[in-house]
Chain A
Amino acid sequence: MNIKAKVIDEIGLQRTITRLAHEIIERNRGSENIVLVGMRTRGEFIARRIHAKIKDIDNSNPSLGVLDVTLYRDDFRTRLKQPEVSVTDISFDINEKDIVLIDDVLYTGRTVRAALDALMDLGRPSTIQFCVLVDRGHREMPIIADFVGKNIPTSINEEVKVKLKETDNEDAVYLVEILNNSEK
């Protein structure tokens, strides 16, 4: 693995989170009916940060949940590793709510597809909007994000690594080159 560039640094990440929080509130004309759902693992922490910002800006406290999409994945028959399942924690009613689904990187779109299925099993939200820190392109599904922190054009041999203090001891986004497939 070869680091090619640091695309976002700590301050940049803070600014991006702040902007995303503002955009979410603006698009929804306030934060009254929105609920935030972070996708495990790093989407959860980005969701927590956006949640804290929205609290600050709008003086409100939208519900915050965590979604684990492992059980809805489409690669059980083809992949080589068994993914570890963890718990979905959405303890509030999502019916008639405007869900903002939050993840770190948007790539093929397959995880979002799984997340949409997972959310549908929990209720019937009014809308589902998708917020992502980095969009790196190469979609395999007809999916587009509503809120994008940064568009980073990549090649297939590159990968976007989001590092967060909660899991990796630093706040940064790196563009790295994959040297061989086994590292994926």
Chain B
Amino acid sequence: MPLSSPHLLGLQGVPAEDIKLILDSATTFREVLERPIKKVPTLQGKTIVNLFFENSTRTRLSFELAQKRLSADTINFTTASSSTKKGETFKDTVKNIEAMKIDMIVVRHESAGVPHYLTKITRANIINAGDGRHEHPTQALLDMYSIKEKLGRIEGLKVCIVGDIAHSRVALSNIHGLITMGAEVSVCGPATMIPVGIESLGVKVYNNINKAIEEHDVLNVLRIQLERKAGTTFPTLREYHNYYGITAERLNEYNKDILILHPGPINRGVELSSEVADGPYQIILNQVTNGVAIRMAVLYLLGTRP
């Protein structure tokens, strides 16, 4: 059974069968990554454009590696060196790229909705690699895959997303995906970082991190976006760390068996103490490896969709 949509724009409204298909297929690609020759000829002849209008290291490298390991041809576009700087409109840029005969576009943009807009102006398969504060579906998929790999299931688990929920596309994609797959989802952070009315998505809100640690199986700890600067949503980084930072003392006191995820890059000493970031509770580098497998699965399922 192919995926129900030719695009991956977000996890909102994506049926459980589709998520399951992606997670199951990723196991195949995870095995490919362990081989001496980490390459299969599956997407030979497909051309994929990585359109990154916003900075990214991990996600772009991960997508690029996934594409190369499936033998697709890839081209990279970053705004720094592009003609959008010369005044070309977004639509013209995309139309020009499409005229070079491409099959898929992986897009990241600071505005929510850009991937949806692309589906209206091109015929390529679109994969959202992060749009504004909206969604980042492949990150949530790799988080779910990593949880499943470690704990054997997603259904029935209690997962808490910690940090700046209001500014986070990772949080929103995780909430949609995890709820679809039957997990109980909560969020935890200072009230200024929790969007008003988030309960309507079916999540519980915690303001006390100790209680959140105590009552969950998994914590997905978000990065505090330093570029957005402390001061608007919390007074100082140190205060954030004191109230919401995940430390070994907290984990030892409230829940030693909890699993810690982090989408990276980590601000050591802010949302995670170094001891936790390198400690036995976390699977942060597994997430990175699994990210390549998940992206290979998504590219495969969309790129070979009949």
The judgment on whether A and B are partners is yes
Q: Which A residues have a C-beta under 8 Å from some C-beta of B? A: 68, 70-72, 76-77, 79-82, 84-89, 117-118, 121-123
How far is B25's CA from A92's CA once the two chains are assembled, in angstroms? 23
How far is B305's CA from A81's CA once the two chains are assembled, in angstroms? 8
Residue B41 at the A interface, CB < 8 A?
A: yes
Q: A76-B42, A80-B306, A117-B41 are in contact. Are A123 and B28 (CB under 8 A)?
A: no
How far is B28's CA from A71's CA once the two chains are assembled, in angstroms? 9
How far is B25's CA from A88's CA once the two chains are assembled, in angstroms? 12
How far is B305's CA from A13's CA once the two chains are assembled, in angstroms? 38
Q: Which residues of B contact A71 (CB under 8 A)?
A: 28, 32, 40-42, 300
Residue B55 at the A interface, CB < 8 A?
A: no
Determine how close the nearest CB of chain A comes to the CB of B8; give it in whole angstroms.
15
Q: A68, A80, A87 — which one has the most chain B CB atoms within 10 A of its CB?
A: A87
Q: Which residues of A contact B29 (CB under 8 A)?
A: 85
How far is B276's CA from A45's CA once the two chains are assembled, in angstroms? 46
The answer on a CB contact under 8 Å between B28 and A87 is yes
The answer on a CB contact under 8 Å between A82 and B305 is yes
Q: A79-B306, A81-B306 are in contact. Are A86 and B37 (CB under 8 A)?
A: no
The answer on a CB contact under 8 Å between B37 and A122 is yes
Interface 1/0 per residue, B38-72 and A, CB below 8 Å? 01111001000000000000000000000000000
How far is B1's CA from A80's CA once the two chains are assembled, in angstroms? 11
How far is B304's CA from A18's CA once the two chains are assembled, in angstroms? 40
Residue B35 at the A interface, CB < 8 A?
A: yes
- List which B5-55 residues lie within 8 A (CB) of chain A: 25, 27-29, 31-32, 35-37, 39-42, 45
Of all chain A residues, the one with the shortest Cβ separation from B38 is: A121
User: Total A-B residue pairs with C-beta atoms closer than 8 Å?
Assistant: 47
Q: A82-B1, A82-B2, A85-B28 are in contact. Are A121 and B40 (CB under 8 A)?
A: yes
Residue B144 at the A interface, CB < 8 A?
A: no
Q: Which residues of B contact A88 (CB under 8 A)?
A: 28, 31
Residue B301 at the A interface, CB < 8 A?
A: yes
Q: A71-B28, A87-B28, A117-B41 are in contact. Are A123 and B306 (CB under 8 A)?
A: no
Q: A70, A118, A122, A123 — which one has the most chain B CB atoms within 10 A of its CB?
A: A70
Beyond A71-B32, A79-B306, A118-B40: 20 further Cβ-contacts under 8 Å?
Answer: A71-B40, A71-B300, A72-B41, A76-B42, A76-B304, A77-B45, A81-B306, A82-B1, A82-B304, A84-B1, A85-B25, A85-B29, A87-B28, A87-B31, A89-B31, A121-B35, A121-B39, A121-B40, A122-B36, A123-B36
Contact of B301 among A81, A82, A87 (CB under 8 A): A82
How far is B29's CA from A88's CA once the two chains are assembled, in angstroms? 10
Q: Which residues of B contact A77 (CB under 8 A)?
A: 45
Q: Which residues of B contact A87 (CB under 8 A)?
A: 27-28, 31
How far is B135's CA from A125's CA once the two chains are assembled, in angstroms? 46
Q: Which residues of A contact B304 (CB under 8 A)?
A: 76, 82
Q: Which residues of B contact A123 (CB under 8 A)?
A: 36
Q: Which residues of A contact B31 (CB under 8 A)?
A: 87-89
The answer on a CB contact under 8 Å between B37 and A121 is yes
Of all chain B residues, the one with the shortest Cβ separation from A86 is: B28
Q: B2, B27, B304 — which one has the most chain A CB atoms within 10 A of its CB?
A: B304
Q: Which residues of A contact B301 (CB under 8 A)?
A: 82
How far is B35's CA from A89's CA once the two chains are assembled, in angstroms? 11
Q: Which residues of B contact A122 (CB under 8 A)?
A: 35-37
The answer on a CB contact under 8 Å between B300 and A85 is yes
Q: Which residues of A contact B2 (CB under 8 A)?
A: 82
Residue pairs across A and B with Cβ atoms less than 8 A apart, 7 shown, are A71-B28, A71-B32, A76-B42, A80-B306, A88-B28, A88-B31, A89-B31
Determine how close the nearest CB of chain A comes to the CB of B292; give it in whole angstroms.
15
How far is B40's CA from A118's CA once the two chains are assembled, in angstroms? 8
How far is B45's CA from A2's CA once the two chains are assembled, in angstroms? 40
Determine how close the nearest CB of chain A comes to the CB of B149; give it in whole angstroms.
13
Determine how close the nearest CB of chain B comes to the CB of A12; give it in whole angstroms.
35
Q: Which residues of B contact A68 (CB under 8 A)?
A: 28
How far is B44's CA from A117's CA once the two chains are assembled, in angstroms? 14
Q: Which residues of B contact A85 (CB under 8 A)?
A: 25, 28-29, 300
Determine how close the nearest CB of chain A comes to the CB of B293; give it in whole angstroms.
11
Of all chain A residues, the one with the shortest Cβ separation from B26 is: A85
Q: Which residues of B contact A81 (CB under 8 A)?
A: 306
